[in-house]
Amino acid sequence: MNIAFVTPEGRTRTPIELTSIHTIRTLAMDAVQGVCARVVSMPSWELFDDQDSDYRTSVLPLHVKARVSVEEASDFGWTRYTGTDGQNIGIETFGASAPIKQLLKKFGFTADHIVAAAKNQLARHRSRD
């Protein structure tokens, strides 16, 4: 069972990955318009981790160091997939109340914010090469 996958629209050789849960894949795909990226949809960590290493590496290649995760909840745990140098966009607080569009913007769930994070990752990792 292929539980995580690179979306067909997000396949490139550019060394940046945007990884998201399936429900916000559309937002990650919008961000791809601003930066060439692989977009990985990973609806379940547990099922992904149960796959064989060849499959996991095909989805998250080891040579790709610039990584951004997007999770409309806590970003806890995403470092396992983005690495300690990756950037994880998520919610680190609770109790916010406002119209959904305001909350999404407040927490950085916009294509512009994701593109900025991706460009930041590319710059950081290019400077290390």
The stretch 48-56 carries a mean pLDDT of 93
CATH of 5-128, one of 3.40.50.720, 3.40.50.620, 3.40.50.920, 2.40.50.140: 3.40.50.920
Helices and strands in the chain: count of H runs, count of E runs: 6, 5
CA R_g for the chain: 14
Indicate the pTM of the whole model. Answer: 0.79
- Tell me the two tokens of residue 70: 């997007």
Q: Is 99 helix (H, G, I), strand (E, B) or coil?
A: coil
On whether the CB atoms of residues 85 and 65 are closer than 8 A, the answer is yes
Q: Could you state, in order of their start, the residue ranges of all structural domains in the chain?
A: 5-128
Comparing 25-39, 79-93, 107-121, the range with the smallest average pLDDT is 25-39
Q: Quick check: 79 and 88 in contact, CB under 8 A?
A: yes
| Mean pLDDT in residue range 28-54 | 81
Closest CA to 7 of 33, 50, 42: 42
Q: Distance between CA 42 and CA 14 in Å, rounded?
A: 19
Give the lowest-confidence range in 1-10, 26-35, 50-59.
Answer: 1-10
